[in-house]
Amino acid sequence: LTGPPRRLRADARRNRARLLAEADAAFREHGADAALEGIARRAGVAIGTLYGHFPNRHALVGALLRDRHDTLFAGGDELRTAADPGQALRTWVDAVVEHAATYGGLADLFAAGAADADSELHVDCARMAAIGAALLERARDAGAVRGDVRGEDVFVLMNAAAWARTALSAEQAGRLVGITLAGMAGPAGPGTPRPSWSDPG
Amino acid sequence: LTGPPRRLRADARRNRARLLAEADAAFREHGADAALEGIARRAGVAIGTLYGHFPNRHALVGALLRDRHDTLFAGGDELRTAADPGQALRTWVDAVVEHAATYGGLADLFAAGAADADSELHVDCARMAAIGAALLERARDAGAVRGDVRGEDVFVLMNAAAWARTALSAEQAGRLVGITLAGMAGPAGPGTPRPSWSDPG
DNA sequence: ACCTGAACACCGTTCAAGT
DNA sequence: ACCTGAACACCGTTCAAGT
C-alpha cells in the first residue's frame, strides 16, 4: 500500500532509486525541507518525474523512512518483554529521538503527520505513539511511572526532544529526556498559577 | 540601539507603524514565517520600504516583541524575590511558553537567535536564559531542585515546550512542563544504554 | 531621507506534449 | 507507462531611479 508499485518499467525503477538516494543525501545535509528541485536535478531527472513518483514531501520522506521504521518498530515491540519496564521506556524514547535526528526538522513532519490522518507519515506516527503508550503502561504497572502520566505525554516528549536535538544540541535533548522521564517516575511538581503580568493572545 | 531611530520623517514613522501592525496580524494568523511581501502590501507600502525599516525577519519580529519582552523580563526579575522559589521557576517557564505562543514558530526563531550572536533576537534569548538560570539557582539553593540540573536545561525546556505548544497543543505542552519540572525536583531517572538495533547517522 | 517597484534568483506544483 | 520541461504562482532580497 505504501511501498513502490509491484512492477515498474526499468527506467522508472532506476529513476525512483536515484531520487531516493539523492533525497536522502539532501535531507541529511540540509534537513527534511531541502529543495525538491535540486534533488530532481542531482538525480538527473525532470522535476515532474519526482512528482510522478512522490506526490509530496511527506511521501518522499515516508518512503525513505520505511525501512528504518520497520526496524525501529520491531525493536520497540521487543522492548515490551524487556526485564526492566522503566529502562525499556527510556530506551524507546532515546531510540526515537536518535532516529528523528536522521534528518533535521523531522519533528515538525512527525507533528504534522500525527495531526493529519491523510499524511503519508500518519500511520508511522500512530505506531510510534502506540508503542510509547504500551511501554508506558507496562512501566506504570511495574510502579516505575506515576499513575497520572498519559501516553500522549511520551509522544510529546519524543517529539519535543527530537526538535531540541536538531534545533539546539544532542546533549541538551538527552538531558531533557532524562529529566522528564525522572519526572514521570517521581511525585508531581508545583502547580500552575497564572502570573498577573502575562498577557497571552 | 535596537529601537526605532530617534526622529523619523512623518511618512517613515507612519509606514513603520503600519508595517508593525500588519506584521503582528500576519504573524498571529500565519505564524512567524508569514510572507513579508503580503505584510508590505497590506501595509500599503512597497516591499523595499519594509526592508528599509527591518533588514530581515528577525529584526521585524524583534521589534514586535520588544515591548512584550520588557514586561516579560521585568516580571521575571520580580520572581527572583518571590516567596516560593520552586513555584517562581514554574511561573517563569509557564510565562515564557505562553509568551512564545503569541506567534507560531517562535521557538525556532528563539533557538536560532540563541545560537547566532548577530541575530536581533540574541540579547532577548540570552536574557530569557539568564533569568531562567537565576531562578533555577535560587530554587536549587532552596532545595526545590536537584543539584545536577543546569541553567541550559531550563532554556531547553522552555523552547521545547514552546515548540510543542504550537506544533502539538497547549495542554500537552503544559503537561510536558509540569512533568519535567517535577523531574528537576525529584531524584534522577534511569540511565541511557544504547539499543543494539538503533543505527544513527 | 525615504520610497518605489522592477529585477533577479529561487522554489512548489501542474500538465500538455512527447517517447 | 513514464518522462520532459515549460508554465504559473509565489517568495526573499537588492538596488537604481525617483520624490
- Report pLDDT for B187: 77
B 4-63 residues inside an 8 A Cβ radius of A: none
Q: What is the pTM of this model?
A: 0.92
- Report pLDDT for A1: 46
Higher-confidence residue of A166 and A198: namely A166
Q: How far apart are CA A88 and CA B48, in angstroms?
A: 56
- Report pLDDT for A196: 44
DSSP conformational letter for A113? H
What radius of gyration do chain A's Cα atoms show? Answer: 20
What does the pLDDT look like over A80-96, one tens digit per residue?
999 999 999 999 999 99
- Report pLDDT for A7: 79
Q: Within 7 Å: CB of B11 and strand C?
A: yes
- Report pLDDT for B191: 56
Q: How far apart are CA B148 and CA B163, in angstroms?
A: 25
What does the pLDDT look like over A124-142, one tens digit per residue?
999 999 999 999 999 999 9
- Report pLDDT for B1: 46
Q: How far apart are CA A34 and CA A53, in angstroms?
A: 17
For B82, the 3-state DSSP assignment is coil
* Torsion over CA: A47, A50, A54, A59 (sign): negative
- Report pLDDT for B190: 62
Q: How far apart are CA A90 and CA A84, in angstroms?
A: 10
Residue B24 has a CB neighbour count (10 Å cut-off) of: 17
Phi/psi for A38 (5° steps) reads -65, -35
Q: CA of A194: which chain B residue's CA is closest?
A: B91
Please judge whether A153 and B179 are an interchain contact, meaning their C-beta atoms are less than 8 angstroms apart: yes
Please report residues of B whose CB lies closer than 8 A to that of A163.
107, 160, 163-164, 167
- Report pLDDT for A189: 61
For A54, the 3-state DSSP assignment is coil
- Report pLDDT for B77: 97
DSSP conformational letter for B112? H
What does the pLDDT look like over A53-79, one tens digit per residue?
999 999 999 999 999 999 999 999 999
What does the pLDDT look like over A3-43, one tens digit per residue?
666 678 889 999 999 999 999 999 999 999 999 999 999 99
- Report pLDDT for B194: 44
- Report pLDDT for A8: 80
Q: Count of residues for chain A?
A: 201
Q: CA of B115: which chain A residue's CA is closest?
A: A168
The C-alpha cell at B166 is 504550537
For chain B, list residues with pLDDT below 70. 1-6, 189-201
Please report residues of A whose CB lies closer than 8 A to that of B184.
179, 183, 189
Q: How far apart are CA B8 and CA A134, in angstroms?
A: 62
Residue A98 reports pLDDT greater than 60: yes
- Report pLDDT for A35: 97
Please judge whether B167 and A111 are an interchain contact, meaning their C-beta atoms are less than 8 angstroms apart: yes
CA distances from A66 to A1, A121, A124, B92 (A): 12, 10, 9, 41
